[in-house]
Amino acid sequence: MTTDKPRKNSRSQRRQKPKRYGTTRKSVLLERSKDYIEEVQERANQRFERKERVMGFPDEVLEPNNHSFDWQTNPVPLKDEEALAKFVIKKGEFGWLEDSRVDEIGQFVEGKNMTLDQALSLRSALLQQKTVYSHGRLKSRAKALFRLYNEGVSVVDLSKRFDFPPMNIFRIILAEKRWSKSRIKECLRDPSKMKKREREEFEKAEAADRVSNVDQSETHSRADLFEEVLADWFESRGVKIRRQNEMVSEQRLEHGRPINTPDILFLDHVEINGQPVAWIDAKHFYGADVSFQRKKMTKQMSRYIDEWGSGAVVYRHGFSENLFIPGCLMLDAENLDLSKMAIS
């Protein structure tokens, strides 16, 4: 007589534990980074004592003054960001939202510690991450997408079906048509060089895609205006600064290209909320606890920290309570007069 041994559950049968939203907890990262934070704060305090010329400093640096500011912040609770993250992303939805969908999100944020602007900015961050992280899968589907395109399926319909950004699908299709990268780039800039179907598909794809859109000029102009508002705030309080455009021009002459150009480099000792801040960067979006955005930000801010020591980032639309970059103070726009940006 044989007895049946209990069957082990296969991997597919096991209940998968839901993946926790967000990146590594801030408290864990703070503990790991204590020594590093002390080191870069000391670097910020000692930057005026360095014997070699400091990048971005003018040839003659006036005696630095001391400034201290209390900056109130209102971080977004992680649970509210998580709830919104699940709501603002839908399969095949990469474009600017219809008014009815915006109203739907607006109703969802009621009673939560997030605004509609923050929710829409969070959506942008999640779409950017989705676009980057799905690119490998998109390339693996290139031949199938090209076949369906040749059968008459539109790029926008392919986007809705396969959940890839329309403009990325369009680029993949052009590559499958054996177009060179330079030809693709040239035709995206001047669609009149395309044949009728490709030109029509491009126009519809671009209209349905805010992530891979060719024209980002309006976004950049608003970001520039926010940087100006922030720089004016410090100068109006007597802080000596260098602005990004000054450093860009200087580094192009000296190095042939910009190397390290935060939006503001302080020529005085500045403390914000008790922490030394050698430089500051303005971001015209919500600081989400989203892996792709944080990695990108950490890479950029680390260059500034290596050069000048600890600094800060001011987020136009606030930031998540769990957002953390070692050596970088998180601030929102609560202290700023944003009347110049009324339309943004």
| pLDDT tens-digit map of 35-62 | 999 999 999 999 999 988 889 998 888 8
- Domain of residue 310: give its range: 26-74+216-341
120: in domain: no
Q: How far apart (Å, rounded) are the C-alpha atoms in residues 151 and 163?
A: 19
90: in domain: no
286: in domain: yes
As a whole number of angstroms, the longest Cα–Cα distance in the chain is 95
Please tell me the predicted confidence (pLDDT) of residue 59. Answer: 82
Residue 270 CA to chain centroid, in angstroms?
Answer: 26
Per the listing, tokens 């922030």 go with 230
**Positions of the chain with pLDDT lower than 50, given as ranges:** 1-4, 6, 12-13, 214-216, 344
Q: How many CB atoms lie within 10 A of CB 20?
A: 10
Q: Quote the pTM value.
A: 0.85
107: in domain: no
114: in domain: no
Tokens of 63: 């005696």
Q: How many CB atoms lie within 10 A of CB 102?
A: 14
205: in domain: no
328: in domain: yes
Q: What is the residue type of 209? A: D
| pLDDT tens-digit map of 10-32 | 554 455 666 778 889 999 999 99
Please tell me the predicted confidence (pLDDT) of residue 212. Answer: 61
Q: How many structural domains compose the chain?
A: 1
Please tell me the predicted confidence (pLDDT) of residue 3. Answer: 47
Decide: 191 and 205 in contact? Cβ < 8 Å.
no
Q: Angle 116-133/99-109 helices, nearest 10 degrees? A: 110
128: in domain: no
